[in-house]
Amino acid sequence: MADYHQPIIIKKVKKAAHAHHGGAWKIAYADFVTAMMAFFLLLWLISMTTEEQKKGLADYFSPANVSEATSGAGGVLAGTALDDSGAKQTPTALEVQDEIVSPTAATETASPNPTSGLSTSVSEGENDPLKAAASTDLKSTFDQQFHAAAASIRQAWQAMPNITDMADNLLVEETENGLNLLIVDQEGRGMFPEGSKYPYEATRQAIAVAAPILARLPNQISISGHTAAGSVYDNPRYGPWELSSDRANVVRTILGEFGLPDTRIQSVVGRATTSPIFPNDPYMAANQRIEITVLTEPSPVPPDLEP
């Protein structure tokens, strides 16, 4: 017979929770994923930018010139400023004349002349170092101003979202003759309507933003229009010479509307198809362009002179 009075024993097992390991690894992993995403985004942006845009970015984040001095004439612009209110001084006519003196002429002046007195030759020879120094200083000032102006124009163009698609059509070059702005046609993308002397609105805005920057320079400016070979004109009395001249003159008008005085314009010419960028292919669209050249010579009239 079963014993119903036997006690019933119930065992309760308590399970202890695992120790908390912390979540610091999650934060580190999130930072790693974010950094990788930013890195690949940077690679993608670099692959999508053009060479002109890359150069503009490099000019934006790097100074135009490196100087150990912190103030005064040892700065980037050697004590000058592009703004009229700065310490810039317009070069005199004597400085400009000294700049164009050839090395041969300077050597002949410094050499003794048997037919003249020795004192005269020595006196003339003492001025040659001063002339050479003035010419060097003037050229150095122009180079610094051109470099700063080129960087400002590139930044102004890059800040315009409506001309992003035509970034390859707008070029800024620093040449031996001065600062050269090129408004160039590309295949399938023109800066002017076919056969028209008036530019597209985006082209007009690109010219307009460059005008105030060019107005701060004391140099003369030359504007030339060029066309590509092979264009067909409906009017037999209106051809590449008339079109290139009219386009250059319209560009002059736009620059004048936005701050460039007429006294700064040295010449406005149309060259038709006589000066292609690619002589081996005169039919290439890039030969059709407008060139705005800031010459390496100051304006004959000081910019602060009032009539």
Tens digit of each residue's pLDDT (9 = 90 or more) over 30-52:
999 999 999 998 888 888 888 87
For 73, 153, 192, 296, the CA distances from 302, given in Å and listed in that order, are 22, 23, 34, 15
CA torsion 162→166→167→172, rounded to 10°? -110
- Residue 107's pLDDT is 43
The pLDDT score that the predictor gives to residue 135 is 55
Per-residue pLDDT, averaged over 234-260, amounts to: 95
Give the pLDDT score at 99. 46
Residue 154 has pLDDT above 50, yes or no: yes
In the predicted structure, residue 65 carries a pLDDT above the cut 60: no
Global pTM reads 0.55
Query: Within 10 Å of residue 291's Cβ, how many Cβ atoms?
Result: 22
| pLDDT confidence bin for 12, thresholds 50/70/90 | confident
- The pLDDT of residue 143: 78
Q: What is the mean pLDDT of residues 189-200?
A: 93
CATH of domain 90-298: 3.30.1330.60
Higher-pLDDT residue of 80, 22: 22
> Confidence band (pLDDT; 50, 70, 90) for 131?
low
Per-residue confidence at 4, pLDDT binned at 50, 70, 90?
low
- Of 184, 180, 103, nearest to 136 by C-alpha is 103
Average pLDDT over residues 51-72: 63
Residue 250's pLDDT is what? Answer: 96
